[in-house]
Structure 1
Amino acid sequence: MLFRKKKEKKPSTIAMMDSKINEDYVEEKVTKIKDEDVEIVMNNEEAISEKLSNASPLRKYAELGKIMFAMLKDVKKGNYPNVPWFTIASIAVALLYVFNPFDLVPDFIPGVGYIDDLAVLSISMGWIETDLHKYLDWRLAETEKA
Protein backbone atom coordinates (compact mmCIF):
# COMPACT_ATOMS: atom_id res chain seq x y z
CA MET A 1 0.00 0.00 0.00
CA LEU A 2 1.54 3.29 -1.14
CA PHE A 3 -0.61 5.66 0.84
CA ARG A 4 -1.22 5.20 4.50
CA LYS A 5 -4.23 6.37 6.37
CA LYS A 6 -3.40 9.36 8.54
CA LYS A 7 -3.32 8.61 12.20
CA GLU A 8 -6.02 10.31 14.18
CA LYS A 9 -4.54 13.31 15.95
CA LYS A 10 -4.94 13.24 19.69
CA PRO A 11 -4.90 16.62 21.42
CA SER A 12 -1.76 17.23 23.39
CA THR A 13 -2.55 17.15 27.07
CA ILE A 14 -0.57 18.21 30.06
CA ALA A 15 -2.06 16.72 33.20
CA MET A 16 -1.62 18.57 36.44
CA MET A 17 -3.11 17.48 39.69
CA ASP A 18 -6.83 17.05 38.91
CA SER A 19 -6.94 19.57 36.05
CA LYS A 20 -5.99 19.24 32.41
CA ILE A 21 -4.95 21.80 29.88
CA ASN A 22 -5.27 20.68 26.31
CA GLU A 23 -5.74 22.19 22.89
CA ASP A 24 -9.52 22.09 23.24
CA TYR A 25 -9.37 24.07 26.49
CA VAL A 26 -7.13 26.75 24.96
CA GLU A 27 -9.15 26.85 21.73
CA GLU A 28 -12.34 27.37 23.73
CA LYS A 29 -10.73 30.36 25.48
CA VAL A 30 -9.45 31.76 22.16
CA THR A 31 -12.92 31.74 20.64
CA LYS A 32 -14.20 33.88 23.54
CA ILE A 33 -11.59 36.67 23.19
CA LYS A 34 -12.92 40.16 22.47
CA ASP A 35 -11.25 43.42 21.47
CA GLU A 36 -11.43 44.53 25.11
CA ASP A 37 -9.33 41.52 26.13
CA VAL A 38 -6.63 42.49 23.63
CA GLU A 39 -6.68 45.99 25.15
CA ILE A 40 -6.17 44.48 28.62
CA VAL A 41 -3.11 42.65 27.29
CA MET A 42 -1.74 45.84 25.76
CA ASN A 43 -2.36 47.84 28.93
CA ASN A 44 -0.50 45.26 31.02
CA GLU A 45 2.49 44.80 28.73
CA GLU A 46 5.02 45.81 31.37
CA ALA A 47 3.65 43.47 34.05
CA ILE A 48 3.37 40.53 31.63
CA SER A 49 6.88 41.10 30.27
CA GLU A 50 8.25 41.32 33.80
CA LYS A 51 6.60 38.04 34.74
CA LEU A 52 7.98 36.32 31.64
CA SER A 53 11.47 37.64 32.38
CA ASN A 54 11.53 36.96 36.12
CA ALA A 55 9.89 33.53 36.37
CA SER A 56 12.68 31.12 35.47
CA PRO A 57 10.41 28.48 33.84
CA LEU A 58 8.90 31.18 31.59
CA ARG A 59 12.14 33.00 30.78
CA LYS A 60 12.53 31.30 27.39
CA TYR A 61 9.26 32.96 26.36
CA ALA A 62 10.42 36.49 27.23
CA GLU A 63 11.70 37.23 23.71
CA LEU A 64 8.62 35.67 22.15
CA GLY A 65 6.52 37.87 24.41
CA LYS A 66 8.29 40.95 23.06
CA ILE A 67 7.61 39.80 19.50
CA MET A 68 3.95 39.15 20.29
CA PHE A 69 3.54 42.60 21.84
CA ALA A 70 5.26 44.22 18.85
CA MET A 71 2.96 42.34 16.49
CA LEU A 72 -0.14 43.44 18.42
CA LYS A 73 1.05 47.05 18.36
CA ASP A 74 1.71 46.97 14.60
CA VAL A 75 -1.69 45.39 13.97
CA LYS A 76 -3.40 47.98 16.18
CA LYS A 77 -1.65 50.86 14.39
CA GLY A 78 -2.59 49.39 11.01
CA ASN A 79 1.05 48.94 10.00
CA TYR A 80 0.75 45.17 9.68
CA PRO A 81 -2.64 44.19 8.22
CA ASN A 82 -4.14 40.85 7.30
CA VAL A 83 -3.44 39.01 10.53
CA PRO A 84 -6.04 36.34 11.25
CA TRP A 85 -8.17 37.10 14.30
CA PHE A 86 -7.35 33.62 15.59
CA THR A 87 -3.67 34.63 15.81
CA ILE A 88 -4.44 37.83 17.69
CA ALA A 89 -6.82 35.99 20.01
CA SER A 90 -4.26 33.21 20.62
CA ILE A 91 -1.66 35.78 21.62
CA ALA A 92 -4.16 37.48 23.92
CA VAL A 93 -5.18 34.21 25.58
CA ALA A 94 -1.58 33.12 26.13
CA LEU A 95 -0.49 36.45 27.60
CA LEU A 96 -3.63 36.91 29.70
CA TYR A 97 -3.20 33.42 31.08
CA VAL A 98 0.40 34.17 32.05
CA PHE A 99 -0.72 37.46 33.61
CA ASN A 100 -3.35 35.77 35.79
CA PRO A 101 -1.71 34.53 39.02
CA PHE A 102 -4.77 32.46 39.97
CA ASP A 103 -5.13 30.19 36.96
CA LEU A 104 -5.62 26.41 37.02
CA VAL A 105 -2.42 25.93 39.01
CA PRO A 106 -1.70 29.12 40.99
CA ASP A 107 1.72 30.56 40.23
CA PHE A 108 2.74 30.83 43.87
CA ILE A 109 2.89 27.01 44.25
CA PRO A 110 6.63 26.21 44.18
CA GLY A 111 7.80 23.87 41.46
CA VAL A 112 4.50 23.39 39.63
CA GLY A 113 2.98 26.87 39.59
CA TYR A 114 4.10 27.66 36.06
CA ILE A 115 3.39 24.32 34.39
CA ASP A 116 -0.02 25.40 33.18
CA ASP A 117 1.37 28.72 31.93
CA LEU A 118 3.99 26.81 29.94
CA ALA A 119 1.30 24.54 28.52
CA VAL A 120 -0.87 27.43 27.32
CA LEU A 121 2.14 29.25 25.86
CA SER A 122 3.35 26.10 24.09
CA ILE A 123 -0.04 25.27 22.61
CA SER A 124 -0.54 28.86 21.45
CA MET A 125 2.93 29.02 19.94
CA GLY A 126 2.25 25.87 17.97
CA TRP A 127 -0.79 27.51 16.38
CA ILE A 128 0.71 30.91 15.56
CA GLU A 129 4.34 30.07 14.80
CA THR A 130 3.89 30.58 11.05
CA ASP A 131 2.23 33.97 11.56
CA LEU A 132 5.02 35.07 13.92
CA HIS A 133 7.62 34.09 11.31
CA LYS A 134 5.73 36.06 8.64
CA TYR A 135 5.62 39.04 10.98
CA LEU A 136 9.36 38.86 11.67
CA ASP A 137 10.06 38.61 7.92
CA TRP A 138 7.89 41.68 7.37
CA ARG A 139 9.71 43.62 10.12
CA LEU A 140 13.06 42.69 8.62
CA ALA A 141 11.91 43.90 5.18
CA GLU A 142 10.61 47.15 6.73
CA THR A 143 13.93 47.70 8.51
CA GLU A 144 15.85 47.17 5.27
CA LYS A 145 13.64 49.75 3.50
CA ALA A 146 14.49 52.41 6.07
Structure 2
Amino acid sequence: MTKITKEQANEELKKRSQQVTEEDVDTVLNKQKEIEDKFKTGGPLGRYIEDLKLLFAIVKDYVNGSYREIPWYSIAAIVAALLYVLTPIDLIPDVIPVIGLVDDAFVVAACLSMIENDLHKYKEWKLKQV
Protein backbone atom coordinates (compact mmCIF):
# COMPACT_ATOMS: atom_id res chain seq x y z
CA MET A 1 0.00 0.00 0.00
CA THR A 2 1.29 3.46 -0.89
CA LYS A 3 1.69 5.86 2.00
CA ILE A 4 2.16 9.61 1.93
CA THR A 5 3.92 11.55 4.66
CA LYS A 6 3.10 15.02 5.93
CA GLU A 7 6.39 16.21 4.47
CA GLN A 8 5.41 14.91 1.01
CA ALA A 9 2.04 16.67 1.32
CA ASN A 10 3.77 19.94 2.27
CA GLU A 11 6.18 19.68 -0.64
CA GLU A 12 3.41 18.86 -3.09
CA LEU A 13 1.37 21.83 -1.88
CA LYS A 14 4.32 24.23 -2.09
CA LYS A 15 5.16 23.05 -5.61
CA ARG A 16 1.57 23.36 -6.84
CA SER A 17 1.03 26.72 -5.12
CA GLN A 18 3.80 28.27 -7.16
CA GLN A 19 1.99 27.33 -10.37
CA VAL A 20 -1.51 28.63 -9.52
CA THR A 21 -3.07 31.05 -11.99
CA GLU A 22 -6.19 33.22 -11.93
CA GLU A 23 -7.75 30.62 -14.24
CA ASP A 24 -7.14 28.01 -11.51
CA VAL A 25 -8.98 30.24 -9.04
CA ASP A 26 -11.96 30.37 -11.43
CA THR A 27 -11.84 26.59 -11.86
CA VAL A 28 -11.97 26.02 -8.11
CA LEU A 29 -14.89 28.41 -7.68
CA ASN A 30 -16.76 26.86 -10.61
CA LYS A 31 -16.21 23.34 -9.23
CA GLN A 32 -17.15 24.16 -5.63
CA LYS A 33 -20.01 21.64 -5.50
CA GLU A 34 -17.82 18.84 -6.86
CA ILE A 35 -15.12 19.61 -4.29
CA GLU A 36 -17.66 19.83 -1.46
CA ASP A 37 -19.05 16.44 -2.45
CA LYS A 38 -15.63 14.87 -1.90
CA PHE A 39 -15.54 16.32 1.61
CA LYS A 40 -19.04 15.06 2.41
CA THR A 41 -18.20 11.41 1.79
CA GLY A 42 -17.40 10.92 5.47
CA GLY A 43 -13.90 9.70 4.66
CA PRO A 44 -10.62 11.39 5.62
CA LEU A 45 -11.75 14.74 4.20
CA GLY A 46 -14.97 14.81 6.24
CA ARG A 47 -13.29 16.33 9.27
CA TYR A 48 -12.40 19.42 7.22
CA ILE A 49 -15.90 20.32 5.99
CA GLU A 50 -16.13 23.48 8.12
CA ASP A 51 -12.64 24.51 7.06
CA LEU A 52 -13.65 24.00 3.44
CA LYS A 53 -16.47 26.53 3.83
CA LEU A 54 -13.99 29.03 5.23
CA LEU A 55 -11.51 28.39 2.41
CA PHE A 56 -14.16 29.00 -0.24
CA ALA A 57 -15.36 32.13 1.56
CA ILE A 58 -11.89 33.65 1.71
CA VAL A 59 -11.21 32.93 -1.97
CA LYS A 60 -14.57 34.44 -2.98
CA ASP A 61 -13.98 37.55 -0.85
CA TYR A 62 -10.52 37.89 -2.34
CA VAL A 63 -11.81 37.55 -5.91
CA ASN A 64 -14.66 40.02 -5.45
CA GLY A 65 -12.27 42.49 -3.81
CA SER A 66 -13.98 42.71 -0.43
CA TYR A 67 -11.01 41.14 1.39
CA ARG A 68 -7.47 41.74 0.15
CA GLU A 69 -5.59 41.54 3.46
CA ILE A 70 -4.14 38.19 2.52
CA PRO A 71 -1.06 37.53 0.42
CA TRP A 72 -1.49 35.94 -2.99
CA TYR A 73 0.63 33.02 -1.80
CA SER A 74 -2.06 32.06 0.74
CA ILE A 75 -4.79 32.25 -1.90
CA ALA A 76 -2.58 30.17 -4.19
CA ALA A 77 -2.07 27.58 -1.44
CA ILE A 78 -5.84 27.31 -0.91
CA VAL A 79 -6.49 26.97 -4.63
CA ALA A 80 -3.67 24.45 -5.05
CA ALA A 81 -5.02 22.33 -2.18
CA LEU A 82 -8.58 22.41 -3.56
CA LEU A 83 -7.37 21.58 -7.08
CA TYR A 84 -5.44 18.69 -5.59
CA VAL A 85 -8.64 17.38 -4.01
CA LEU A 86 -10.48 17.84 -7.29
CA THR A 87 -7.91 15.93 -9.32
CA PRO A 88 -8.47 12.16 -9.17
CA ILE A 89 -4.88 11.36 -10.15
CA ASP A 90 -2.42 12.58 -7.53
CA LEU A 91 0.12 11.01 -5.18
CA ILE A 92 -2.41 8.29 -4.29
CA PRO A 93 -5.18 7.97 -6.92
CA ASP A 94 -8.65 8.74 -5.52
CA VAL A 95 -10.07 5.58 -7.09
CA ILE A 96 -8.46 3.56 -4.30
CA PRO A 97 -11.22 3.44 -1.65
CA VAL A 98 -10.55 5.56 1.47
CA ILE A 99 -6.74 5.42 1.07
CA GLY A 100 -7.06 7.46 -2.13
CA LEU A 101 -8.39 10.40 -0.13
CA VAL A 102 -5.79 10.26 2.63
CA ASP A 103 -3.26 12.23 0.59
CA ASP A 104 -5.98 14.79 -0.20
CA ALA A 105 -6.61 15.17 3.56
CA PHE A 106 -2.88 15.60 4.20
CA VAL A 107 -2.66 18.33 1.55
CA VAL A 108 -5.69 20.15 3.00
CA ALA A 109 -4.18 19.87 6.50
CA ALA A 110 -0.86 21.21 5.17
CA CYS A 111 -2.69 24.14 3.60
CA LEU A 112 -4.57 24.95 6.80
CA SER A 113 -1.33 24.84 8.75
CA MET A 114 0.51 26.97 6.19
CA ILE A 115 -2.09 29.77 6.18
CA GLU A 116 -3.26 29.53 9.79
CA ASN A 117 -2.44 33.16 10.68
CA ASP A 118 -4.15 34.48 7.56
CA LEU A 119 -7.25 32.41 8.37
CA HIS A 120 -7.42 33.84 11.90
CA LYS A 121 -7.21 37.39 10.54
CA TYR A 122 -9.89 36.62 7.98
CA LYS A 123 -12.23 35.14 10.61
CA GLU A 124 -11.84 38.28 12.73
CA TRP A 125 -12.57 40.46 9.70
CA LYS A 126 -15.56 38.32 8.70
CA LEU A 127 -17.08 38.57 12.20
CA LYS A 128 -16.91 42.36 12.01
CA GLN A 129 -18.83 42.31 8.72
CA VAL A 130 -21.96 40.85 10.30
TM over 0.5: yes
Distance 2:62 2:98 in 1: 36
Alignment-derived partner of residue 113 in structure 2: 126
Gaps spanning 5+ residues in structure 1: where? 1-14
Aligned length: 127
Alignment-derived partner of residue 29 in structure 1: 16
Cα 1:22/1:133, change in 2 over 3 Å: same
Alignment-derived partner of residue 74 in structure 2: 87
Distance 1:21 1:101 in 2: 17
Distance 2:12 2:124 in 1: 31
Alignment-derived partner of residue 112 in structure 1: 99
The SS at the match of 2:57 is: helix
* Cα contact 1:21–1:116 (8 A) shared by 2: no
Write out per-residue CA displacement over residues 18-57 of structure 1, whole angstroms, 9 at most, x where no aligned residue: xx82423321111111111111100101110111112421
The SS at the match of 2:8 is: strand
Distance 2:90 2:42 in 1: 15
Cα 1:90/1:113, change in 2 over 3 Å: same
User: Which of the two has greater strand per residue?
Assistant: 1
User: Which of the two has greater helix per residue?
Assistant: 2
The SS at the match of 1:54 is: coil
1:103 is the counterpart of 2:115: no
Gaps spanning 5+ residues in structure 2: where? none
Cα 1:47/1:22, change in 2 over 3 Å: closer
The SS at the match of 1:25 is: helix
Distance 1:111 1:88 in 2: 28
RMSD of the TM alignment (CA)? 1.6
Please report the TM-score for the alignment, with normalisation by the length of structure 2: 0.90
- 4+ long deviations beyond 6 Å: none
**Residue type of the partner of 1:75?**
Y
Give how far 1:75 is off: 0.9
Alignment-derived partner of residue 7 in structure 1: none
Q: Which structure's CA Rg is the greater one?
A: 1
Give how far 1:81 is off: 1.5
Write out per-residue CA displacement over residues 53-91 of structure 1, whole angstroms, 9 at most, x where no aligned residue: 124211111111111111111111111112101110000
The SS at the match of 1:102 is: coil
